[in-house]
């Protein structure tokens, strides 16, 4: 998600976070402070959605690098294969950091939530679709 679609505060009145319901049917009770792609979200959920989208993008990049590496290998372009391997390592490291940040956020959310077990949020339908398309 581009920051150009993000607007901070400035809502008329008080609005609650519009993040998807949890599996327990609970809603986020935080005040919405960020407008992100048409949703009013609290800071924590806005950041979570940004991280999830970044993870999807980096997975897509890794898939393309794998595709290009195979093509370069088939054409005998060893120098290109080596360069793509370096880029694959960088992309994998970046994806790993993003996934760690997501896991920290989910761990903090489960500590903040009341009740037993861990209520994971439902993912927005477009996020699920993009994940299915990119693998």
Q: What is the pTM of this model?
A: 0.64
The helix (H) or strand (E) run that includes residue 133 is: helix 125-134
Nearest to 1 by CA among 45, 31, 33: 45
pLDDT of residue 72: 97
What is the full per-residue pLDDT of the chain (135 aa) written as tens digits? 454 444 444 445 677 787 764 444 457 788 888 887 777 888 888 888 889 899 999 999 999 999 999 999 999 999 999 999 999 999 999 999 999 999 998 787 666 654 444 444 444 444 544 555 555
For residue 8, the cross-strand partners are 34
Nearest to 58 by CA among 22, 99, 28: 99
Q: At which residue do the structure tokens 């790993």 appear?
A: 96
C-alpha gyration radius of the chain: 19
Nearby residues of 18 by Cβ (< 8 Å), 6 or more positions away: 32, 39, 40, 41
DSSP 25: S
- For 65-130, the DSSP string reads HHHHHHHHHHTT-HHHHHHHHHHHHHHHHHHHHHHHHHHHHHHHHHHHS-SSS--PBPPPHHHHHH
Domain residues of the chain, as ranges?
A: 3-113
């Amino acid at each position: 998600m581009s920051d150009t679609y993000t607007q901070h505060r400035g809502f008329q009145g008080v609005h609650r976070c519009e993040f998807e319901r949890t599996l327990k049917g609970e809603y986020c009770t935080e005040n919405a402070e960020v407008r992100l792609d048409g949703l009013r979200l609290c800071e924590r959920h806005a950041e979570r959605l940004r991280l999830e989208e970044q993870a999807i993008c980096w997975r897509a990049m890794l898939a393309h690098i794998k595709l290009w590496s195979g093509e370069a290998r088939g054409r005998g372009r060893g120098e290109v294969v080596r360069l793509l391997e370096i880029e694959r390592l960088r992309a994998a490291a970046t994806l790993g950091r993003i996934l760690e940040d997501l896991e920290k956020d989910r761990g903090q959310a489960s500590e903040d939530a009341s009740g037993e077990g861990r209520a994971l949020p439902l993912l927005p339908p477009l996020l699920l679709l993009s994940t299915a398309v990119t693998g």
